[in-house]
Amino acid sequence: MVIKNKINQLLNSRSEDTNALLKEKALLESLIGMAPDAMVQTTTEGIIERINEAFLKEFGFTREEARGKNIDDLIVPPELREQGISFTKRTANNEIIRVDTYRTDKNGKKIYVNLVAQPVIQDEKISALYATYRNISNKKKDDDTKSVIYNISAAALTMSEFSDIFDSIRNEIGKIWDTKNFYIVLYNKDNQTLTLPFFQDEKDHFEEVPVKNTITGWLIRENRPVLLKEADIDELERKGEIALVGSPCKVWLGVPFSLENEISGAMVLQDYDDENTFCGEDLRLLSLIGNQIALAIQRKRMLNNLILERRKAEDAAKLKQQFMSTMSHEIRTPLNEVIGINNLLLQGNPREDQMEYIRTLRFSANHLLSLVNDVLDYTKLESGNISLEQTQFNIFEFIDELKRSYSYRIKNKGLDFTLNIDKSIPALIIGDPVRLNQVLSNLLSNAVKFTASGSIELSVKKVSRSDNLIHLILSVKDTGIGISADKQALIFESFKQASDDTTRKYGGTGLGLSISQKLVELQGGNLRVESKPGEGSNFYFGIKFPVAVSDDNKITENNEERWNELTGKEVLIAEDNKINFFVVEKFLEKWGIKVSHAENGRIALELVKEKKYDLILMDLHMPVVDGIEATEIIRNSDDPGIKDIPIVALTAAIMSDHEEKIKQLDFNDFILKPFKPRDLYVKILKHAR
């Protein structure tokens, strides 16, 4: 760099003293001659005027061969011809060029260089052009090797077939070396053979060769990288260590690789024409790549084994989930009947003494339903098959309904129940009200369970608000038994409670908080607790909800006059369970809806041909033809009046495969049994035509 700077100073200096100019010229020639980098000075048209020894040595020309030639004709390869001419013109227009590129020597071999070209200015005019070529071939090869290693690793992880991986290896190595004579061998120790999963050669073709007496077999025995020239190969043959198999080559480059600490194969490059094609540096770089190939193959084998194990585990998990979902359906069906009739009784203006019995029945049924949901959701979360809905709901109505659900139970225990919700929160937000209700219900149930006296507070506070997003903190605070600091992490683990004594005294599955934590995480939050023994607990979490656009058609508890908007609608209920049908029918009749009944999917298909319905409530689990198959037939109908009937899936449990079917078959919606009457009303109001 010092020499280069001095040259630049001399080239751009001005002197009217002839002797000084001659001295500077002599010094310039001396400095150029001493420089380790290839240097050349040309006219503004690119004709070589001065050239140093480093240039002649680097590119293989004599001074006579180079002087007077155009630099672009001498060392610029045909594919970079336009680049070379452009660089000369730009430098002649007083531009300095700095670029990594390549040029070719006298024999056409590529030499990667860092090129710096700049004008020589004398008397305020450009009198010549000056360029240095620093050889960066080794650096380029190192960089290419790193890239090759990375790409080979990526191929091993993304490609399913070993043949594709080997082909990728050959393509990657071809970025550094000529791979017209390249092969990969795998060593079979048991039968002492070498198989060639990839073989490319100008003269020979083999699929399998013996280990004994071959160069590759000798390499396997030596278990070290080797570079053999023709004389070395002849010497090994003379000693009897190898016998020539195939055509003799001028140079042979081989590196072995090991899998799980055992020699497993090798990678070979060879050339039939020039023994100087490869050098010691090539051996070093190919060894690095060979090591990476071994790791890549090993990872691929391990990955294949893991995939097999994962498939076994997934099959087992799928069977488990199917069993749990089926059992859940069987348990939820009678629960739906109990809760449905309970809801009918509540709307029948019972006496006060009857109301207490009905509320107790509702609490017990909902508690059992909560346990069933916990088991099913735990299975779904464990298998990663749980998904969140994104629906619009009124947060004030949601919290108020939650309070009403727990008010009787909390009051019956002699506790104070307060609701604290920030009035500046927008009423309509978008999220999963079912999962949010599940989390808060679990926290409220725990608060009631573990609080003997005092109070419970449910609060919703605003943290921040943007145009379309609001960050809320939801919390349940109690004055119960509290939790010691060393147990606070434990309670979020599955099947765990603060102590065995807690389990014996208060009961519970130990799943509620674990499930709640995972459900909160799925919604982008984190469930936390602040607690001290004897002082109570505060469970809280933050979630960011999109703010919804106002919807005037949403039915609310405070909008009773709108419960008659479905009067005169025709709805077909496809449901095989008589009690479930009875419950749904009674609610629909109360809302003025005309009801038809199909006991299975086949009857439903017959009825839709005879009558135009405004909506179908389709149970998924039915005999003869189930709800999914019936819906598929309806959606494939040629009659638009049948094909476009709104269909709401009505089921006691949604299995993951059913969830996909619901999306694929274009169900308009689904409602999970047991349902809340208002939820059913809203679904029908939304979709009925």
pLDDT at 545: 95
Angle at 497 between CA 495 and CA 500, to 5 degrees: 105
Tokens (6 digits) for 272: 């039939």
Distance of CA 334 to the CA centre of its chain: 41
pLDDT at position 316: 76
**Lowest-pLDDT range of 196-200, 220-224, 560-564, 630-634:** 560-564
pLDDT for 658 beyond 80: no
Contact 666, 654 (CB under 8 A): no
Per-residue pLDDT at 223 exceeds 80: yes
Range in 227-231, 333-337, 360-364, 494-498 with the lowest mean pLDDT: 494-498
CB count within 10 Å of CB 286 equals 24
Burial (0-12, 13-18, 19+ Cβ within 10 Å), 105: middle
Q: Among 544, 543, 538, 347, which Cα is nearest to 458's?
A: 538
Amino acid (1-letter code) at residue 360: T
Query: What's domain 141-306's superfamily in CATH?
Result: GAF domain (3.30.450.40)
Query: Average pLDDT for residues 533-540, to the nearest whole number?
Result: 93
Dmax over Cα atoms in the chain, in whole Å? 125
Q: pLDDT digits over 27-67, tens only?
A: 556 556 667 889 999 999 999 998 999 999 999 999 999 99
pLDDT band at 553 (very low <50, low <70, confident <90, very high): very low
In CATH, what number does 560-687 get?
Answer: 3.40.50.2300
- 316 or 616, higher pLDDT: 616
H helices within 387-511, ranges in order?
Answer: 395-412, 433-449, 500-506
Looking at residue 186, its amino acid is L
The domain made up of 387-546 has a fold known as Heat Shock Protein 90 (3.30.565)
Most confident of 373-382, 403-412, 574-583, 602-611: 602-611
CB 152 within 8 A of CB 168: yes
- Domain ranges, ordered by start, for the chain: 2-135, 141-306, 387-546, 560-687
Burial of 54 (0-12, 13-18, 19+ CB in 10 A): buried
CA 663 centroid distance within chain: 22
Residue pair 597/581 in contact (Cβ under 8 Å)? The answer is yes
Confidence of residue 597 (pLDDT cuts 50, 70, 90): very high
Contact between 168 and 160 under an 8 Å Cβ cutoff? The reply is no
Sign of the Cα torsion 600, 606, 611, 613 reads positive
Which option is the CATH number for 2-135: 3.40.50.300, 3.30.450.20, 3.30.1330.40, 3.40.50.2020? 3.30.450.20
Q: How does the average pLDDT of the chain come out, rounded?
A: 82
CB 250 within 8 A of CB 272: yes
The b-or-e profile of 496-509 (16+ CB within 10 A means b, else e) is: bbbeeebeeeeebb
Choose the weakest-confidence range: 256-265, 445-454, 601-610. 256-265
Is the pLDDT score of 353 beyond 50?
A: yes
266-278 residue pLDDT tens? 889 999 988 888 8
CATH topology of 141-306 equal to that of 560-687?
A: no
Name residue, tokens 């080979």. Answer: 152
Q: Rounded to the nearest 5°, which phi and psi values hold at 94?
A: 70, 35
pLDDT band per the 50, 70, 90 thresholds, residue 557: very low
Name the DSSP class of 428.
E
pLDDT bracket for residue 383 (50, 70, 90): low
pLDDT grade for 564, boundaries at 50, 70 and 90:
confident
Does residue 444 contact residue 458 with C-beta atoms inside 8 Å? yes
**How confident is the model over 395-440, as pLDDT tens digits?**
998 998 888 888 888 888 899 999 999 999 999 999 988 889 889 9
State the Rg of the chain over Cα. Answer: 41
For 15-76, strand residue ranges (E) read 38-42, 48-51
Residue 554 has pLDDT above 90, yes or no: no
DSSP string of 487-512? Answer: GTTGGGSTT--S-HHHHHHH---S-H
**pLDDT of 106 higher than 60:** yes
